[in-house]
Amino acid sequence: MLVCTRRIEWDAMHRIPNHEGRCRAFHGHRYVAEVTCHAPSLDALGRIVDFGVIKERVGGWVDAQWDHTAILMRGDSDPAALAIAASNEALGRPIYWMEAPPTAENIAAELAVKANELLAGTGVTVVRLRIWETPNAWAEWTPDPA
């Protein structure tokens, strides 16, 4: 199978409620996403998709929703979560609420679903999405086998 991958980077804060270690505290990361796409055939120029399409659609969404803000779990019991939400809202950077703890695994799954929605109509599908939380730790999403 022939695939192409676009790298997208952003900075965000998160915390993992009930984590057994330091990740239960608010902290930030330089996240990296590798969005890997496949199409049934190449276009007239010999591409799966122009890399700029992935950058514009998926990267644009990441910039608007996740960059320089907080990715937190809805219902986070830490009072600071609501204070951060209010502060970011006042500064024009609303936080992103996830239904699950914002682990690298859950962020990868969330972005994979969103990326497939954002790329609808292009003829490509996301076949792998890797989230690097640190330079040496990553999580990967792939679709369930049919």
Give catalytic status of residue 133 as yes or no.
yes
Identified catalytic residue from 27, 56, 68, 89: 68
Backbone phi, then psi, for 112, in 5-degree steps?
A: -65, -45
| Residue 118 domain boundaries | 4-40+49-135
- Catalytic: which of 23, 34, 105, 140? 23
Active-site residue, 68 included: yes
At 60-113, the pLDDT tens digits run: 999 999 999 999 999 999 999 999 999 999 999 999 999 999 999 999 999 999
For residue 94, tell me if it sits in a domain.
yes
Count of domains forming the chain:
1
Q: What is the pLDDT of residues 108-131, one digit of tens each?
A: 999 999 999 999 999 999 999 999
Whether residue 140 is contained in a domain is answered as no
Spatial separation of the C-alpha atoms in residues 22 and 43, rounded to whole Å: 47
Which one from 14, 29, 110, 133 is the annotated catalytic residue? 133
Give yes or no: 23 in active site.
yes
